[in-house]
Structure 1
Amino acid sequence: MRPPVTEAQRLAASGLVTAASAVLATGIPGAGAVAQAELLRAVHQARAVKLFAPAAAAVRVVEHLRAARRDDPAFRLAVLTDDLREVLVSCHCVTSGDASAIGVARRAYEPVGDLRLHGIFCEPVRAATGHAGAVTYLADAGGRIWVVSDVRPADPAAAVSAAHASVELGEVRLSHHDLARGGLLAVNAQASATGRLSHGRARQAVSVSGAGWFDAPLNALWQVGLAAQVERWLTAAALPAPERPASHDLAFLEGTVVGADRRGLLLSTEHAGIVAVTAALDDPASPHVTNLRLLATHAAGHPVRLAGRFAGARLVAGLAFAAQWLPSRHGGHADLGTERLTRADMPGAQPVPPSSAAEPPAPPPLHLLRHQLERVVSAGRPALSTGVAGDAQRLAAAHLGGAAAFLAALGSTGMRRTRDVFGRLDPHDVEVLAQAWLTAAVYEQAAARETIRAAWAGTSTGY
């Protein structure tokens, strides 16, 4: 039973809303040192009264704003938009008396017993927060996925080589690359609630043999139905970021390579039809794009098993793949972000029926609403002076009446500029803008989730 929300927590949540609303009103250009300091001051007050989830989301907003203003290539406007929505949603829940939105403090590692783990794959990590490194995913006999992470403040270029750096697991010294192809017996292991394993010299572990993707227990990961995988992803994505399991968005697909188009490599699957596989990291120094292009050109017509990350409607960010034709020197699978494949690794293209590469039906144009939401985050209130009415009309014409209404309401708040009796701009307008933006953002998130679910299931929906 959670304790009720206190008056101090309501006041702290209101302070976070005020600071976050100011960021929305001015956009990234106006979110300089002063705006960031105001947001961090509100974070300090929120932490003092144990508003853990809103404070954590607000810190991420500050980190993304700093990355945007220094033109960091790792910055993603979509991620900043999602984090701003999370700040406002959680604060709205707190001020409404919902104690579940308070969140919890950073979870400590807790004992999980002895674990016999099998490496699945590893990936390089590069974040807009100035962190870089590598992450290895492992599975136990029951199919639960665990993570060994070595991500720390570092130059973004460190992500490329991090997979071949040593990771300490007691007396075991393995690189992420080798751990992803081997096994591990962890004694008295400790892990967080999200599945992240504690590692270092204090842990006890022994290196043991691993398992291939086509062998037990890893083979079971590809036997889980696609609908269940999508539901796991969408359910976890609705949670605050710190509470999501480390492997919540992993996709395990099996299909035949049928070429490529503007979206990326195309994989023909049994239950979802054509799935587009894009690069998980678009860094020119990363081999993601080159490897996917090589597969699309010289492995067309051949079956593969893919591990990736759900990225949208029939869209997956590719992380690793395995195939019976893959040379044994790769150790059973190839990590798309850490290995550079060559033509000699490919089996040679086979003819693919033209109908196999047909694109799926176009989704409803919810992207118009999302685009306007991101424009506000990027440029502030001035972004609403143009383009909103036209997009609202296009949404209405596509029978997305809810999206059209919320966008029109957001546009009207962008034009609202009231003044007090002394001629000063009314600061309440900023809160009205933030409320309209939040309403549209929550709608867009829910509608997009249902659209994605329907696309993976092969059905259609409308809003």
Structure 2
Amino acid sequence: MTVPPVMPGVVPAVLDALPPRLRKRIDAAVERVGEWRVDVAGDAARVDIDADTVLTWTLHSGVLVSAEDLVCSCLLAPKCLHRGIAVAAASVSDQEIETQAEVVAPEAVPDQVAPVQVVATEVGERRGEREAVDALWSACAEILRFGVTGSGAVVRSELLRAVHGAKLVGLHRAAAGGVRIATGLAAAKAGASSFDRETLADDLAEVMLVCHDLRSGFGDPAALRGVARREYQPIGALRLYGLCTEAVITSSGYAGVVTHLLDADRTLWTVPSIYPGGAERIPIAADGPVAMGETGLTHRKLGRAGLVLSGATAAADRRLGAGKAVRAVAAAGAGWADDPLSALWDEPLADQLTRAFHTEQDLLFLAGAVSGATQTALRLTLETGDIDLLGATDAARDNLRLLGERPGMPLRVVARLVPDRPTTAIALAAAGELAVNGHVDLTLDRLQRSHLPPGQPSSTLPAPHADPPPSGLLATVVERVVLGGRPVAALPSTTRDAATLARAGLTATAALLDTLTTTARDRARDPFGRVIPDTTDAFPTAWLTAAVHAKEFARAGVRLSWLPPGGAT
């Protein structure tokens, strides 16, 4: 069993107590956790390291929230390696960032507070925010300088210290991204299959871009700060129709389901049931009761039924609340071919893509005919051309392969756009000539061949072959820097890549790669020829600029791939 998760501020608090000689040994000693047998009972955990050493945790909701709640019985405690190993190997919890609780907006400053006092408070808050932003930027920049391979427990600890500081001053969006970065670093060090260098690069770019915009005063400060807990506002009464239910597994250690619903005005709403845990939570959540009134519906049934709400509340992202004042009654649902659900497929694909690329509402409603299946995707033919549908769970991937055996079968699909891959989406639900009740929740249900219409199974289609675009050279260097650090950008190959981009006519992209290479090689030296550590923002800023450019360039190409010439958004 793994060690209990910890809050971000616990890791630096424990490692700061270690003497330097022990702190240097943390990375090499973390593997010892694999030999520990952790016994958890309620809000307490312990491991007998040897006959004379016992490590105990006092937990709150299953999480270690304070360094003082981790106690070791060895003679060196609390400055012992055992405590350091325990927190270095633990996953980082972000419960306070991703909570589903309903909260009320904070009250305004009372009128009787003196104006001078208010101004002084605001100045102090801005100063604290700037210091937290600088600390988080510096922590991310350090990761870029050393790369994943050189970022051990100490670098990760400094990142989590900055995350803790960001949370204290209300920078919740940046703090949540910092937790994802710390999780990615830990997965990389452990050699976990969940580690993905592209995802880690995206997380670093997002956090650094938020820090950059906060430092420069660019953008909406409230959106850049984010919120710790969703604020739910009253929205009155709603008549809802179930659309589908989706299985969810997050990289931050949460799992469950989300049910999507539609009202008579064609507005989409969601009802989640997501809690700490892994894939084992999905069937429990799907067949568990909807935490809204006393409808008697499970999430699996709600995706096909209807709901009448009074006193409803919702967050800005249209997530419905389940407060005590909310009243819910089960009602009749509607099929995908009936009003109001059928209207979702009437929206032109160009308008759907514009919405999906530019807002958080990224669902697509696609109607076409099955072309077959590749090894990894279902091929669907639309009026605009072929697209590939991927599965997010094992059940979804098996279902898509089965549907691919009936080429020509008409199919309606609810899918989520993949903004970084041409003509690709993640299929959530499907309906067609299937012997099932309405639609199939692809991430939850299991299709059998008996559900398919009569016909002969088709052979597997070859995967489409396309040469990578030249612009991908910049994205590759950006991701390699995340792995190997600053020296990777200084390699001679990056100069050749820049020349290739220039020959392809991508002069702006080539210039960004040249800038990244130049800043990576620009290293000052002392009189003895030793490299002086560079703490300026030149290299991190050049990397961030290249990362944002590569991402937006790729997304522009994806937008063009979905529609025929003249129909792009």
Q: TM-score range by the shorter chain?
A: 0.7 to 0.9
Matches within 5 A, 1:271-286: 272-281=384-393, 286=394
Superposed displacement of residue 457, structure 1: 2.5
Whether the aligned pair in 2 keeps the contact of 1:300 and 1:350 (CA below 8 Å) is no
> Which residue is 1:198 aligned to?
321
Aligned partners of 2:212, 2:364: CA distance in 1, in Å?
Answer: 33
Whether the aligned pair in 2 keeps the contact of 1:259 and 1:357 (CA below 8 Å) is no
Whether the aligned pair in 2 keeps the contact of 1:265 and 1:277 (CA below 8 Å) is yes
> Which residue is 1:344 aligned to?
450
Q: Percent identity?
A: 39
- 5+ residue gaps in structure 1? 237-244
Aligned partners of 1:215, 1:223: CA distance in 2, in Å?
Answer: 12
> Which residue is 1:301 aligned to?
408
1:209 is aligned to 2:332:
yes
Whether the aligned pair in 1 keeps the contact of 2:258 and 2:270 (CA below 8 Å) is yes
Whether the aligned pair in 1 keeps the contact of 2:376 and 2:397 (CA below 8 Å) is no
Superposed displacement of residue 300, structure 1: 0.7
Aligned partners of 2:479, 2:362: CA distance in 1, in Å?
Answer: 23
1:380 is aligned to 2:485:
yes
Name whichever of 219-228 and 398-407 sits farther off.
Answer: 398-407
Could you say which structure has the greater relative contact order, defined with CA pairs below 8 angstroms and 6 or more residues apart?
A: 1
Query: 1:378-423 CA distances to partner (integer Å, 9 max, x unpaired)?
Result: 3323433364344334433433222222223323333443334576
> Which residue is 1:398 aligned to?
504
Superposed displacement of residue 121, structure 1: 1.0
TM (norm. structure 2) is 0.71
Whether the aligned pair in 2 keeps the contact of 1:25 and 1:430 (CA below 8 Å) is no
**Alignment partner of 1:364: what SS?**
coil
1:261 is aligned to 2:368:
no
> Which residue is 2:179 aligned to?
59
Aligned partners of 1:113, 1:136: CA distance in 2, in Å?
Answer: 20
Query: 1:49-75 CA distances to partner (integer Å, 9 max, x unpaired)?
Result: 433433332233223333443444444
Superposed displacement of residue 310, structure 1: 0.7
Whether the aligned pair in 1 keeps the contact of 2:374 and 2:463 (CA below 8 Å) is no
> Which residue is 1:239 aligned to?
none
**Alignment partner of 1:56: what SS?**
helix
Aligned length: 438
Query: 1:420-461 CA distances to partner (integer Å, 9 max, x unpaired)?
Result: 457654332673321111010111122122212222232399
**Alignment partner of 2:537: what SS?**
helix
Name whichever of 154-163 and 335-344 sits farther off.
Answer: 154-163
Whether the aligned pair in 2 keeps the contact of 1:319 and 1:335 (CA below 8 Å) is yes
Matches within 5 A, 1:21-420: 21-98=141-218, 100-101=220-221, 102-106=224-228, 107-159=230-282, 162-199=285-322, 203-236=326-359, 245=360, 248-261=361-374, 264-270=377-383, 272-281=384-393, 286-297=394-405, 299-311=406-418, 312-323=421-432, 325-327=433-435, 330-349=436-455, 364-384=469-489, 385=491, 387-420=493-526
Aligned partners of 2:505, 2:532: CA distance in 1, in Å?
Answer: 36
CA distance 1:250–1:360, change in 2 (3 Å): farther
- The one-letter amino acid of 1:410's match is L
- The one-letter amino acid of 2:403's match is L
Whether the aligned pair in 2 keeps the contact of 1:75 and 1:128 (CA below 8 Å) is no
**Max radius of gyration: which structure?**
2
Name whichever of 106-115 and 214-223 sits farther off.
Answer: 106-115
Query: 1:75-115 CA distances to partner (integer Å, 9 max, x unpaired)?
Result: 44333222211111111112212362443423311111111
- The one-letter amino acid of 2:189's match is R
CA distance 1:261–1:398, change in 2 (3 Å): farther
> Which residue is 2:110 aligned to?
none
- The one-letter amino acid of 1:280's match is A
TM (norm. structure 1) is 0.86
Aligned partners of 1:396, 1:49: CA distance in 2, in Å?
Answer: 44
- 5+ residue gaps in structure 2? 1-121
- The one-letter amino acid of 1:213's match is W
Aligned partners of 1:123, 1:262: CA distance in 2, in Å?
Answer: 23
Pairwise CA RMSD? 3.0
Superposed displacement of residue 363, structure 1: 7.1
